[in-house]
Structure 1
Amino acid sequence: VIPYAKMGYWDADYNVKDTDILALFRITPQPGVDPVEAAAAVAGESSTATWTVVWTDLLTACDIYRAKAYRVDPVPGTSDQFFAYIAYECDLFEEGSLANLTASIIGNVFGFKAVKALRLEDMRIPYAYLKTFQGPATGVVVERERLDKFGRPLLGATVKPKLGLSGKNYGRVVYEGLTGGLDFLKDDENINSQPFMRWKERFLYCMEGVNRAAAATGEVKGSYLNITAATMEQMYERAEYAHAIGSVIVMIDLVIGYTAIQSMAIWARKTEMILHLHRAGNSTYARQKNHGINFRVICKWMRMCGVDHIHAGTVVGKLEGDPLMVKGFYNSLLLTHLKINLAEGLFFDMDWAALRKCVPVA
């Protein structure tokens, strides 16, 4: 077995290309494993390598397709963690497919024996690859134009209790909230179509509340209707029904998966609906500081997918939210060009290739 570093997955002299996809991993090597070898192992296992050299490598352009770990820095304030910078050739990934991108970048490497823990902290997606994704259909400006609301934050709230209300009482809460000054109400992540309130009943009563509130206030109002379901067919059915009864926005949960998210984003663009994404489930891999995926990476992926809104957290409230960390999330969603800002966790310059902005929702 040849060490990964000697197989070509480590190159301290590598010149990063504008078309390279870059990833920054926080690596905690197993005791006795050299950090450079651990970084090379991650580069290898997330690109072309297996546990040993195989003769079929000679049938490919190995030197081109190997990912290259090119820099390893100790993490300040730790004794056993390192930042590993890895470059991937753009041709390693299918165009416009987040599922394929993530199958490599976060596929097998997180269970790899050479590392005790591994966290994907940041990515730079090159202009050439970004242009294969549709990005958000509306963005900040278009949504404000549709709502005719400028110069202030859009104000929303979540219906509570999130489970247990009948359809009629649910719609009543929507009406009271919207006439009280809110721009939007929203379903919570786990209200789908339970026995106490089926989805069609909720949609009808919500839209009754929205329409009555709009008539009473003279303002454009809305309610995020959660179309998350067991299958894509069911989600399309619910989305089409929401569109048919006049809703301007639907929502989905992160747990439906990247392919389903991209599919719903394409549908929302075609039907001119706003698509909100609730980050349900993200803390299972985003909260641990040394293992998993930083949420800023999820923000970048979701902007590529084309969601118009994303539940991005806030500094106050019941959920975790460091001010600089949250600012980094918001900047990843709202800026057209990202600059390196280590305090906010932004490790790369990145141009968003004219993809529209994604609205961060607290």
Structure 2
Amino acid sequence: MTDDRVVAAYLIETPHSLEHAAEVIAGEQSSGTFVSVPGETVELKERYGARVERIEPRESVAAPSLPGSKPPRSAAGAPSYRRGIVHISFPLHNFGPSLPALMSTVAGNLYELQELSGVRLLDLELPAAFAQRYPGPGFGIDGTRRLAQVEGRPVIGTIIKPSVGLALDEFAPLVRDLALAGLDFIKDDELNADGPYAPLAERVGVAMYEIERAADHTGRKAMYAFNITGDIDHMLRSHDLVRDAGGTCVMVNVNCVGLAAVAHLRRHCELPIHGHRAWFGAMARDPMLGMGFTAFQKFWRLAGVDHLHVGGYGSKFYESDEEVGRSIRDCLAPMFGGYRVMPAISSAQWAGSAMDIYSTTGTMDVVHLAGGGIIAHPGGTAAGVRSMQQGWEAAVAGVPLAEYAATRPELKAAIDKFGKR
């Protein structure tokens, strides 16, 4: 990596040679177009053109992954579609340390090229100028732990369910029950922002009243991530509302508001930002299209989120446990010497999920979110919370779950209910 170029790694598929396809990407995303133009001098291309740095050939396939690609006119017979990883570098002075301009460059029109039947951004190497422009997470792992008053174990949390539709008189006792149960973290669902059935301004007041009252009994104040997703002005006002009410976290659907909005919120923010990745599947689910999580999370860490959703082990969603584990490690890997964010693990989680998470990642620096795994526990919400803590104790100690549960009824009940799914 150099201080004057961005290097992007792509998985591509093409009916052309890998070399030709890579050069087309480099031209399209820098100084080139479909035909030479008078101003495109050798000197300009040398200074502003993208470069193909390395090509790693992979397998070939008989059919294209995506529609709309066109083989070379000279091709005889059925085309073969070649796959490979190509590394292309872009001069930083083409766009400067700007996240929106970076996105336009490394993940812009290249997805529409006819020479490609598949293209996926895998990873990025970024110059230090981005760290100078974007301070990254304001709280990260250490700040989250401090505010949540949690050390030596994961932050255990849940999501308000039903996702939408709870009136304030239904919402209040649910928050009370969750806070009294000893949860570290509670969050709004990504669908619940500022609906008329429970406007955000009123919801914040109700939730913080219940959380503060519960803290008088438990000695600890649960962190609540209020969903402030909306226009920029709305998010800034909502952040201030949460802060002034004594709240300790805000949540944003990052893909839905965009990089510039999150970066602007980060500059204003005095609370941790919980980053929900709704819409991520649209760009990542097809393995030959879009953007992988390794590249994705770098954008949002720079923009300034403190937590970022990574999926869940044994979840209801499409990602494998291996992919989720890799995403957790991505979030925890240092970037510019820091910028670590806390992975948020959710979807069909329960006490037993801790065994796989810890055995494959070796970390407790996660927000582990369980909905039904806590709220639907046979012993009630408090027993559900305790079962989650016990599951992590077993995982860290290296003791089989059933053995650890023999003297812990909360964990035993969780295994009986959720372990046979």
Pairwise same-fold verdict (TM > 0.5): yes
CA distance in 2, matches of 1:141, 1:259: 25
Q: Aligned equivalents of 2:31 and 2:214: distance in 1?
A: 57
Partner amino acid, structure 2, of 1:133: Y
Per the alignment, in what secondary structure is the counterpart of residue 82 of structure 1?
strand
Q: Does 1:25 align with 2:49?
A: no
Alignment CA distance shift 1:77-1:59 (3 Å): closer
Secondary structure of the residue aligned to 1:73 is strand
Shift of 1:322: 2.2
Q: Which structure 2 residues correspond to residues 203-242 of structure 1 after superposition, within 5 A?
A: 203-229=204-230, 231-242=231-242
The alpha carbon displacement at 1:161 in A equals 0.4
The one-letter amino acid paired with 1:283 is G
Q: What is the aligned counterpart of 1:70 among 53, 74, 80? A: 53
Residues 1:251 and 2:236 aligned together: no
In angstroms, what is the RMSD of aligned CA positions?
1.8
Distance 1:190 1:146 in 2: 25
For the structure 1 residues 110 and 167, does the alpha-carbon distance in structure 2 shift closer, same or farther, using more than 3 Å as the test? same
Alignment of 1:101-116 (within 5 A): 101-116=102-117
Identity %: 27
**1:321 and 2:319 equivalent?**
yes
Alpha-carbon distance in 2 for matches of 1:17, 1:299? 21
Gaps of 5+ in 2: 62-80, 346-421
Letter in 1 for 2:337: A
For 2:21, the equivalent position in structure 1 comes to: 38
Any conservation in 1 of the 2:147–2:248 contact (CA below 8 Å)?
no
How far residue 20 of structure 1 moved from its aligned partner, in angstroms, is 2.4
Alignment: residue pair count: 325
Q: What SS is found at the alignment partner of 2:114?
A: coil
Q: Structure 1: which amino acid aligns with 2:125? A: R
Q: Distance in 2 between matches of 1:191 and 1:142?
A: 26
> Are the aligned partners of 2:308 and 2:343 in contact in 1 as well (CA < 8 Å)?
yes
Per the alignment, do residues 142 and 192 of structure 1 end up closer, same or farther by CA in structure 2, a change over 3 Å counting?
closer
TM-score scaled by length of structure 2: 0.73
Partner Cα separation in structure 2 for residue 172 and residue 75 of structure 1: 56
Worse overlay, 105-114 or 122-131: 122-131
Q: Report the Cα offset of residue 294 of structure 1.
A: 0.7
Looking at structure 2, the residues matched to 310 and 292 of structure 1 have their Cα atoms a distance apart, in angstroms, of 19
The Cα shift of 1:305 comes to 0.8
Cα distance between partner residues in 2 of 1:62 and 1:227: 44
* Aligned counterparts of 2:218 and 2:7: Cα–Cα separation in 1: 49
Counterpart-to-counterpart distance in 1, 2:3 and 2:272? 33
In structure 2, the partner of 1:267 is: 268
| Aligned-partner SS, 1:152 | coil
Work out whether residues 284 and 293 of structure 2, in 8 Å CA contact, stay in contact via their aligned partners in 1: yes
Normalised by the length of structure 1, the TM-score is 0.85
- Asked which structure has the greater CA Rg, the reply is 2
Q: Distance in 2 between matches of 1:356 and 1:71?
A: 28
**Once the 2 structures are TM-superposed, how far is the Cα of residue 326 of structure 1 from its aligned partner?**
2.0
Structure 1 residue 80 corresponds to structure 2 residue 82: yes
Describe the SS at the equivalent of 2:41. helix
The residue that corresponds to 1:339 in the other structure is: none
* 1:219-241, Cα deviation, whole Å (9 max, x unpaired): 13121100112x21122221111
Partner of 2:117: helix, strand, or coil? Answer: strand
After superposition, the Cα gap between the structure-2 partners of 1:332 and 1:359, relative to the gap in structure 1 and judged at 3 Å, is same
Q: Distance in 1 between matches of 2:167 and 2:223?
A: 19
Q: Relative to structure 2, which stretch is displaced further, 189-198 or 53-62?
A: 53-62
Q: Alpha-carbon deviations, 1:124-147, whole Å to 9, x = none? A: 123343332211011112222233
For 1:282-361, list aligned pairs within 5 A: 282-336=280-334, 352-361=335-344
Q: How much has 1:359 moved relative to structure 2?
A: 0.8
Q: Is the 8 A contact 1:138 1:356 kept in 2?
A: no
Match of 1:53 among 18, 27, 36: 36
Are 1:192 and 1:226, in contact at CA under 8 Å, matched by a contact in 2?
Answer: yes
CA distance in 2, matches of 1:295, 1:332: 8
